[in-house]
Amino acid sequence: MADVSRAVNIEDLRRMARRRLPRAIFDFFDGGAEDETTLRENRAAFERVRLLPKVLVDVAEVDTRTQILGAESQLPLAVAPTGGIGAGRPGADVCIARAAKAFGIPYTLATPATASIESIRAESDGRLWFQLYCVKNREFREKLVARARDAGYEALLVTVDLPVSGKRERDPRNGFVTPFRPNWRNSHDIWRKPAWLLDIARSGLPEMENMRGYPWAAPTSDIVTAVGREMDASLDWEAVKRLRELWPGKLLLKGVERTDDAERAAIVGCDGVVVSNHGGRQLDGAAPTLEALPAIARAVGGRLTVLLDGGVRRGVDILKARALGAQAVLVGRATLFGAMAGGEAGAKRALEILQDELVRAMRLCGVRSVAEIGPHLVAPR
């Protein structure tokens, strides 16, 4: 296992993960849709923001605590949903959930996770959110909602930017399918990854536990493709109203980039929105989330919790997102790379890096608490 203590930033953990994983699996986690323009722009948008730090402020003590969805979080940060990650390291979902609990932040379980709703609850008494993929079979998706409710998850994040799967071109080039199976395109690389091979030999190839029993339209070995085919392309605001009736906890729409959609989310009774483009994995050419954020925050910030994901790789990114209107951010790939590199210790190292960088950025900007982070810190373009 890699010595994750040597990682000084998230990119170091990404490199460690890349060294450990077969190319097909790493590219599945790392890649985006088509030309990967949106994937790159999510990151570049943070790099374009310039800060105007305050000086001569007593920042000996800095408080990173904040309220997210009405409850305290130790950081303005939650873990985003990431599907299928057990293919990279068995038990990775549990590793990340435990890391989130240790850092006092919410963890979001994906519908296509390799751990079940119930098993994550058994492993963590922390703040748990569930991301719902709205599959065509309404009875099955409502059972998922009921299972999350019965397991005590506090929030339901409904993914609304997935009427069909994005065209992620790395996967067919690498011969990637899930459950992952060696084939002529990827087998030559697998044998050069002994650490991954040993883990899989011990534990076996994982399944998407929450999709067990789903009535697939046609038999297939490629569940990723099958899940994409099974997304409900007819999903509309009436379906959101139905979910609002079924779900007693906090309800958020994940995948919003327009102010009119955010305003309608408030009207139908949602508690928040996640400004997201699915990490650049769906519509290539979608606006980078940080650029879509300010208008949404101005439109609904007083009525809804506004969160953001996409491109967050540094603690200063959290500060920038907060300054531009997000109450908190979600990170997916950062903790995923950590878990791929070093299991639970790697996921914790990712959060430790982000926490340290956030505290450092707050001190250098002259702010003593998350509440003091605001638009006054952002330089005009």
Q: Which residues does the annotation mark as catalytic?
A: 278
Residue 81's identity, in one-letter code, is: P
Please give the structure tokens belonging to residue 254: 């994940």
Q: Is 60 exposed, middle or buried (0-12, 13-18, 19+ CB in 10 A)?
A: exposed
Q: 305-309 and 328-331 as β-strands: parallel, antiparallel, unpaired?
A: parallel
Long-range contacts of 361-364 (CB under 8 A, 24+ apart): 361/315, 361/316, 361/318, 361/319, 362/59, 362/62, 362/64, 362/319, 363/59, 363/62, 364/53
| Alpha carbons 157 and 39: distance in angstroms, whole number | 21
DSSP string, 152-197: T--EEEEE-S-SS----THHHHHT--SS----TTTHHHHTT-HHHH
Long-range contacts of 275-278 (CB under 8 A, 24+ apart): 275/306, 275/307, 275/308, 275/309, 275/310, 275/326, 276/161, 276/308, 276/309, 276/310, 276/330, 277/38, 277/42, 277/161, 277/310, 278/159, 278/161, 278/162, 278/166
Please give the structure tokens belonging to residue 212: 């067990």
Residue 307's identity, in one-letter code, is: L
Contact in structure between 272 and 25 (CB atoms under 8 Å): no
Cis peptide preceding 179, ω within 30 of 0: yes
Can you tell me whether residue 272 is helix, strand or coil?
strand
| Alpha carbons 68 and 58: distance in angstroms, whole number | 26
Contact in structure between 84 and 180 (CB atoms under 8 Å): no
- Whose CA is closest to 305, among 274, 259, 263? 274
Number of H helices, E strands in the chain: 15, 10
